[in-house]
Amino acid sequence: MRLSESLRRLYRGITLLYEDEDLIAVNKPAGLPSVHDPMLEEEAQDLHTWLSERYGRLWVVHRLDRDTSGVIVFARNAAAHRALSVLFETRAVFKVYHAIVVGVPRWDERTIDAPLRADADRQHRTIVDVEQGKPAVTHVRVLARFRHHALVEAQPETGRTHQIRVHLALVGYPLLADPLYGDGQPLYLSALKRDYRRGEETEERPLIARTALHAFCLRFEHPMRHAMIELEAPYPKDFQAALHQLGKQ
């Protein structure tokens, strides 16, 4: 299958973070599904398929949203898959996400405890549902404040669908460019610089045009070697560019 240039750029953005005989971890680029999406074309590529073609059969342990970048782990054998799945199910995996939010929180740290129900409407959104929702807890800490935005760290205790996005929107700080729980508006340099100028025939490209969420770190005990592993994924270019320009304001 011939790949489009956009897909080629995505695959070039996949970086290996860790590899042994039991598991493999990579820094997933935004825009690439973690696993095959049945809603897409049969030949549409995904990270799991792409890695399996290069490293052999891989077992899915957890997933990241298509527009979320960062650390993702796959098992390389059935035993590792069972052990890793138990770690995730029993909340023995320490997860850290970084997000750019719209608005500037006055608080430094906050715990958001609100039950969530997934796939609750026609847009397949997750909603807060006290009666039918599943328990969901997210610990949030402000890392940096800008004029109209902030960089926050989110540590989810649970792993509900869209948990961080919903919880932050609930307290009034939706993720930048989030089309489901925010306004979905990309961040442009022209919105940050008063003296910004571009050529009349040049279309301005956004600094970041996808939900500004990055899976920054995973820490867990190796299921076979029983040693602690900490995996960190550097920010992708769009996330870093947005923070750089926000920091100048």
- All structural domains of the chain: 5-247 (3.30.2350.10)
Q: Tell me: the pLDDT tens digits for 53-103?
A: 999 999 999 999 999 999 999 999 999 999 999 999 999 999 999 999 999
Q: Tell me: the pLDDT tens digits for 98-115?
A: 999 999 999 999 999 999
Angle at the Cα of 103 (from 102 to 107), degrees rounded to 5? 130
**Percent residues over pLDDT 70 in the chain:** 91
Kindly report which listed range (68-72, 99-103, 195-199, 202-206) carries the lowest average pLDDT score. 195-199
Q: Cα 222 vs. chain centroid, distance in angstroms?
A: 22
Residue 163 half-sphere exposure toward CB, CA atoms < 13 A: 27
* All residues at 6 or more sequence positions from 245 whose CB lies less than 8 Å from its CB, including other chains: 187, 189, 192, 193, 207
Q: Considering the candidates 20, 65, 121, 195, report the single residue annotated as catalytic.
A: 65
Instruction: Determine whether 65 is an active site residue.
Output: yes
- Above 90 in pLDDT, residue 182? yes
Count CB-CB contacts under 10 A for residue 244. 11
- Above 80 in pLDDT, residue 43? no
Cα maximum dimension of the chain:
59
Q: Tell me: the pLDDT tens digits for 102-148?
A: 999 999 999 999 999 999 898 999 999 999 999 999 999 999 999 99
